Amino acid sequence: MIRTLATSGRVLQQIRHDPRTIALMLVVPSLLIGLMSWIFTDTRVFALIGPAMIALFPFIVMFLVTSIATLRERRSGTLERLLSLPLAKGEFILGYALAFTLIAILQTVIAVSFAVWVCGLEIQGSLWLLFSVAALDALLGTSLGLMASAFARTEFQVVQFMPLFIFPQFLLAGIILPRAQLPRPLEVFGDWLPLSHAIDALNAIANGTEDSATTASLLVIAAWIIAALIVGSLTLRRRTP
């Protein structure tokens, strides 16, 4: 536990030395949400896709940040050094997950506040639940990013993993076309993807129609997080060729 917190603290310290990254992480989602709401002025579209955008940002940003940060650890030799010390792999991964989830919560608070109070997005349901889903999304991005970094050898590759891991989820989540209208195999596939569930949950919260399906969605996301964290920690090897 102490080592997990030490790792989170170290990751946050690193980010603190990079004010531009902090500014980008905190401001860019609000900028994009603002742009969306401007594009769709006087239509119902923003009310429909606004909640989905809240799900997307923490997910994408945390995926990128985590995959690049862990790739850097692998390449700089710090990971090899850490794994020769009394640090459990789970402690390392949870340390990262914790640090980035904290940032994601901050990011979401800003993005949601901006969407609600500046862009006039209506949230009927619980704001707390909304933040929890966004935090869960961030954790999902972090855990998938950890996993992706294990399969990448270079920064170029890891950036290419973003379209691979994220675009299909985005396309099949029901933002572009409701999932029920997709060809049957794609609908079934989309129903299993975590981002679909995140967007379903956020839509339900926005409309104030949270029910047992929302809870089920959260459980599906949690299952994905746990699975990705386990795969991610399996890819950390104390012994390498």
Kindly list the residues in this chain that would bind other proteins in the complex (CB under 8 A).
2-3, 6-7, 9-10, 13-14, 17-18, 76-78, 80-87, 238-241
Q: CB 241 → other proteins: shortest distance, Å?
A: 5
Q: CB 5 → other proteins: shortest distance, Å?
A: 9
Q: Which two tokens stand for residue 97?
A: 């997950």
Q: Angle between the 45-76 and 19-39 helix axes, to the nearest 10 degrees? A: 160
Q: CB 14 → other proteins: shortest distance, Å?
A: 5
Q: CB 68 → other proteins: shortest distance, Å?
A: 13
Say if CB 224 and CB 140 are below 8 A apart: yes
Choose between 85 and 180: whose C-beta lies nearer to other proteins. Answer: 85
Say if CB 198 and CB 221 are below 8 A apart: yes
Q: Angle between the 127-151 and 155-172 helix axes, to the nearest 10 degrees? A: 140
Say if CB 32 and CB 57 are below 8 A apart: yes
Choose between 32 and 87: whose C-beta lies nearer to other proteins. Answer: 87
Say if CB 146 and CB 232 are below 8 A apart: yes
Choose between 9 and 163: whose C-beta lies nearer to other proteins. Answer: 9
Choose between 126 and 237: whose C-beta lies nearer to other proteins. Answer: 237
Q: CB 108 → other proteins: shortest distance, Å?
A: 24
> 239 vs 6, 69, 72, 233, CA distance in Å?
23, 21, 18, 13
Choose between 52 and 69: whose C-beta lies nearer to other proteins. Answer: 69
Distance, CA of 8 to chain centre: 17
